[in-house]
A and B are shown apart, each in its own frame.
Chain A
Amino acid sequence: MDTLLLSRIQFGANISFHILFPTITIALGWVLLFFKLRFNATGERKWMDAYLFWVKIFALSFAMGVVSGITMSFQFGTNWPGFMETVGNVAGPLLAYEIMTAFFLEAVFLGIMLFGASRVKSWVHTLATFLVAFGTTMSTFWIIVLNSWMHTPQGYELRDGVVFATNWLEIIFNPSMPYRFVHMMLASGLTVAFLIAGISALRLLWGDRCEAVKSALRVGIITGATLIPLQILAGDFHGLNTLEHQPAKVAAMEGNWETGPNIPLVLFAIPDQEARENRFEIAIPNGASLILTHKMDGVVPGLNDFISEDGEVLHPRVAPVFFSFRIMVATGMAMLVLSWAGLYLLRRYGAGDMPKLPLIAFCAMSFSGWIATLAGWYTTEIGRQPWLVQGVLSTKDAVSDVPAGMVLSTLIGYLVVYAILILAYIGVITYLARKAAKGEPLSMRTYPRSGEAEVVALQPGE
């Protein structure tokens, strides 16, 4: 394998590992704020217990996100120097704003949010929690702006092959940004909803019947059931936006080779890029035309349009885009079915007496958000190839000239560490759930609600 492919795999591995944790912390920050506010409003102990259980998982995920994010900031320089040299004038300020308006905010107030509860007033702690959640959302915003600009660049001009910014509003509000931002925020919300539902279901299965678990299960299922239809809708809009700006990507997602009307919706196939056709195709007639143009005879772009005169392939490799898109959609459908079934079962049985089978299903779906998120990102990012910045900079022009052996050996190093850490991460979450299910108290403190006088029962040695 050459440096280009290995560098792509390395960047892919690093960013895949990284995105797992922000996907959790973005939404979990807001859920924690919700628990905290519910506690402030009702004074019910269960909300504080839920907060104290999930804040541990938040802290762990946040640490994993921070350290894997540091890797990302170095990857630009070590593997893709051409990226900043060509589009640095646009990417630079966006990254700088992310670091300055988001990273510091979340990192500093995280310390106060995690360890400051006994040192500051309750409202300061609530404010710190808000600022951490706000910080994670801001950082999502800036990085999505940059990523979207790479898909749908505008507001710039080229001088001697280097990009110069001409209109910052056009850069920030580029055509795909709103769709991508909403799609990602909802993805984060769904990931956390299913994580909370799954871990709560696990604790119920282990016989933990405390109020905090039941409430958390309810929060998880209701959030999931609310967000999944919105996500399907947002995904559809995002797809139409991609059709307008990156037709080659949509052609690869649909596995459609020839442009034309009445294109079928391919449910399954094995795309053969050499023969330029699909094998073992199962398809619904007119389906793709209907979804993408809302007309039976709507014209859908085909991959064969993206071959240049001299035979150069200007569309992405079809199979990875085609399959990861289907994995994302399938996971989304499973989420829809399970969360709505869960909603019905909640009404019928209540959170405490839910039958075993659906609880097991929720356990199995604990990390389904990760699968859908990764599959979605693979679809859109591999779908942008051969471009790094659509129509401006090709991926092969940005790669560094580091020897392939060096990239390969560091890649193996990263993969080994990541594999161990993912196992440790899931292991520790399960262990925390196990410990909580055994009924170990999360805190001996009596909590003041905001506005009430603080009465702290000090523990020996505190």
Chain B
Amino acid sequence: MELFGDPAVWLPWTFAALMGLSILIYVVLDGFDLGVGILMPLAEDAEKDRLVASIGPFWDANETWLVLAIGLLLVAFPPAHGLILTSLYLPVFVMLIGLILRGVSFELRAKAPLKQKRIWNSAFFTGSLMASLSQGFMLGMYVMGLTWTWPHVAFSLLTAVFLTVGYSFIGAVWLIWKTEDCLQTRAIKWAKGGIWGLILGIGAVSLATPFVSSRIFDKWFGFPQLLYLSPLPIISALLVGFLWWKLARLPLYNDRWSWTPFAAATALFTLAFFGMAYSFYPYVVPEQITIYEAASAPESLFIILLGTLFVLPAILGYTVLSYYIFRGKATDLRYD
């Protein structure tokens, strides 16, 4: 344990990194399948099954990343876990109800009598919307330091809308990759509509964070860090430009490059995430508790880390395997 220096320093850091990684994977993976749920009402009735089929084999595992992220917060930083979740009591409730509705509608829309399908389709949409909105709201509250004042709530309502648009954007570019013909054309149109929200959303959070805390302001706008942080906004701008340009040209002959918008959107989400992580480090509860203050006993963290070293590569491995097995355009979901 002493190999890398003081375990009370490197263990919390490692766990913060692991937690960040699983939040990032969650936001990208469940982002696209929540996004597909939000886009559902825009699709023709005949296309809805295909929409669901494009996320069918994956959504269970995607949501497990949320359980892992919240689990890591729970096990590695217990006081922060309690503080964050009690202050976000209501949005957490809305999100959970949303995730429940969405998960069960997924099954019930296909298994209940046909005349109920419409109800479960709208429950699927409503659940996805509730989950996205509340996650965006929680993001806003977190940025604002978890205090319930009117301006903070107003800002969080704004981020709620932006994250929802962001999710539907990554959902749309996922559909561009996984579907064909009419539905693909429609998805390209949806993506073009969503890119505005994405730019505004990332912009709003990026501009708001430095002004919430002078500490974050100094972290970004001091010299020389301004210099070596500059690639972050520049690459982001380039990615947005690429998306804009690509979406105007798709679909190409033989479906070439249909995967690139999803890759670019993933890269964009990743950069935005790193920007936030940089801003908030070393705090796990903004401006209140650092990861070092909140960390569990090194002995306990070490036991978890040992397992993680073996298990996480395996998880990533069979996740990739699953995406590989279900590669290519989405086909109807069949049990046989």
Q: A-side interface residues toward B, CB under 8 Å?
A: 52, 55-56, 59-60, 62-64, 66-71, 73-74, 76-78, 81-82, 84-85, 88-93, 95-97, 99-101, 103-105, 107-112, 114-120, 164-165, 168, 400-402, 406, 410, 413-414, 417, 421, 424-425, 427-428, 431-432, 442-443, 445, 447, 461-462
Determine, out of B52-60, B184-192, B204-212, B248-256, the stretch whose residues face the partner at the interface.
B52-60
CB-CB under 8 A from A93, the residues of chain B are 75, 300, 303-304, 307
Q: Is the CB of A64 within 8 A of B104?
A: yes
| CB atoms of A77 and B57 under 8 A apart | no
**Do A92 and B296 have beta carbons less than 8 Å apart?**
yes
A165-B325 CB under 8 A given contacts A70-B67, A77-B74: no
Q: Could you mark each residue 87-112 of chain B with 1 if its beta carbon is under 8 Å from any beta carbon of chain A, else 0?
A: 01110110011011111101110011
> Which of B61, B97, B312 is within 8 Å of A413, CB to CB?
B97
Query: Contact between A118 and B334 (Cβ–Cβ < 8 Å)?
Result: yes
- State the CA gap A442–B335 with chains docked (Å): 9
* Chain B min CB distance to A396 (Å): 16
Contacting pair B335 A114 (CB below 8 A)? yes
Q: How far is the CA of A223 from the CA of B296 in the complex (A)?
A: 45
**Docked pose: A323 CA to B60 CA in angstroms:** 37
In the assembled complex, B28 has its CB within 8 A of some CB on chain A: no
Contact of B85 among A78, A101, A431 (CB under 8 A): A78
- Between A and B, 17 residue pairs with Cβ closer than 8 Å are A59-B335, A67-B102, A76-B81, A77-B84, A78-B88, A78-B92, A85-B82, A101-B311, A104-B68, A104-B318, A107-B64, A108-B321, A165-B300, A413-B93, A425-B104, A431-B113, A432-B111
How close is A420's CB to chain B, nearest CB, in angstroms? 10
B154 close to chain A: CB less than 8 A: no
Knowing A92-B78, A117-B335, the reply to whether A401 touches B86 (Cβ < 8 A) is yes
Q: A85-B78, A101-B311, A427-B112 are in contact. Are A421 and B61 (CB under 8 A)?
A: no
Candidates A84, A103, A401; contact of B64 at CB < 8 Å: A103
Interface: B70 (CB within 8 A) = yes
Instruction: Tell me if B70 and A428 are in contact (CB < 8 A).
Output: no
Shortest CB-to-CB span from A305 to chain B, Å, is 35
CB contact under 8 A between A74 and B92, given known A85-B82, A116-B325, A117-B336: yes
Contact present for B57 and A111 (CB under 8 Å): yes
In the complex, which of the residues A73, A100, A112, A118 contacts B70, with contact meaning CB atoms closer than 8 Å?
A: A73
A70 to B63 alpha-carbon distance, docked (Å): 8
Asked whether A400 lies within 8 Å of B68 as measured between CB atoms, the reply is no
With beta carbons under 8 angstroms apart, the residue of B89, B96, B103, B335 that contacts A56 is B335
B103 x A64 contact (CB < 8 A)? yes
| Binary CB contact string for chain B from 297 to 336 against chain A (1 if under 8 A, 0 otherwise) | 1011001100110011001001101100110000111111
Interface set of B (CB-CB < 8 Å, partner A): 56-58, 60-61, 63-64, 66-68, 70-76, 78-79, 81-86, 88-90, 92-93, 96-97, 99-104, 106-108, 111-113, 296-297, 299-300, 303-304, 307-308, 311-312, 315, 318-319, 321-322, 325-326, 331-336
A31 to chain B, nearest CB (A): 16
Given contacts A111-B60, A431-B112, contact A118 B336 (CB under 8 A): yes
| Complex interface: chain B residues within 8 A of A74 (CB) | 70, 85, 92, 96
**A77 and B81: CB pair below 8 A?**
yes
B293 to chain A minimum Cβ distance, whole angstroms, is 13
B2 to chain A, nearest CB (A): 19
Which A residues are in CB contact (< 8 Å) with B106? 63
Chain A residues closer than 8 Å to B61, beta-carbon distance: 104, 107-108, 110-111
Please indicate the chain B residues that have their CB under 8 angstroms from the CB of A100 in the complex.
Answer: 68, 307-308, 311-312, 315
Contacts of B331 in A (CB 8 A): 462
Q: Is the CB of A95 within 8 A of B71?
A: yes
Q: Tell me whether chain B's interface is mostly helix, strand or loop, or mixed.
A: helix
A274 to B252, CA, bound (A): 79
Pick the contact of B67: A73, A428, A431 (CB < 8 A): A73
The reply to whether B325 and A92 contact each other, CB–CB distance below 8 Å, is: no
User: With contacts A63-B106, A92-B76 known, is A116 near B57, CB below 8 A?
Assistant: yes
Q: Out of B64, B100, B336, which one reaches A445, CB within 8 Å?
A: B336
Q: Is the CB of B318 within 8 A of A109?
A: yes
If A55-B335, A81-B81, A93-B303 touch, whether A66 touches B108 (CB-CB below 8 Å) is no
A91 to B75, CA, bound (A): 8
- Decide: B89 and A406 in contact? CB cutoff 8 A: yes
Contact check, A63 vs B74: say whether CB atoms are below 8 A apart.
Answer: no
Instruction: Check B322 against A77 for contact (C-beta < 8 Å).
Output: no
Complex: chain A residue closest to B120, CB-CB: A424
Question: Which residues of B sit under 8 angstroms from A99, Cβ to Cβ?
Answer: 64, 67-68, 71
- Which chain B residues lie closer than 8 Å to A84 at the CB level? 74-75, 78, 81-82
Chain A residue at minimal CB-CB distance from B119: A424
Determine if A165 and B336 form an interchain contact, defined as CB atoms under 8 angstroms apart.
no
B336 partner residues in chain A, CB cutoff 8 A: 52, 117-118, 442-443, 445, 447
List the B side residues contacting A107 at CB < 8 Å.
Answer: 60-61, 63-64
Q: Which 3 pairs show the lowest CB-CB distances between chains A and B?
A: A81-B82, A92-B75, A77-B85
Q: Are B71 and A77 closer than 8 Å at their CB atoms?
A: no
Of B64, B75, B92, which one neighbours A96 at CB under 8 angstroms? B75
A28 to chain B, nearest CB (A): 14
A81 near B300 with CB under 8 A, answer no
Residues of A within 8 A of B318 (CB): 104-105, 108-109
**Interface pair B92/A115, CB less than 8 Å apart:** no
Across the interface, do B103 and A63 meet the contact criterion of CB distance under 8 Å? Answer: yes
> Which B residue sits closest to A411, measured CB to CB?
B93
Which of B60, B101, B325 counts the most A-chain CB atoms under 10 A from its CB? Answer: B60
- B299 and A165 contacting across the interface, CB-CB below 8 Å: yes
The residue in chain A whose Cβ has the minimal distance to the Cβ of B303 is: A93
Cβ contact within 8 Å between A402 and B89? yes
Contact present for A56 and B111 (CB under 8 Å):
yes
Do the beta carbons of A89 and B103 come within 8 Å of each other?
no
The answer to whether residues A421 and B100 also contact, given A95-B74, A100-B312, A112-B325 and a CB cut-off of 8 A, is: yes
Asked whether B57 lies within 8 Å of A410 as measured between CB atoms, the reply is no
Given A71-B100, A92-B304, A100-B312, A108 contacting B89 (CB threshold 8 A):
no
Q: How far is the CA of A66 from the CA of B85 in the complex (A)?
A: 20
Given A67-B99, A88-B75, check contact A120 B93 (CB 8 Å). no
Chain A residue nearest to B82 (CB atoms) is A81
A residues near B108, Cβ cutoff 8 Å: 60, 424, 428
Q: How far is the CB of A4 from chain B (nearest CB, A)?
A: 14
Give the distance in Å from the alpha carbon of A77 to the alpha carbon of B146 in the complex: 15
Closest chain-A Cβ to B107's Cβ sits at a distance in Å of 4
Closest to A17 in B: B100
A227 to B273, CA, bound (A): 52
Q: Which residues of the partner chain B approach A119 to less than 8 Å between Cβ atoms?
A: 325-326
The interface residues of chain B lying within 8 Å CB-to-CB of A168 are: 303
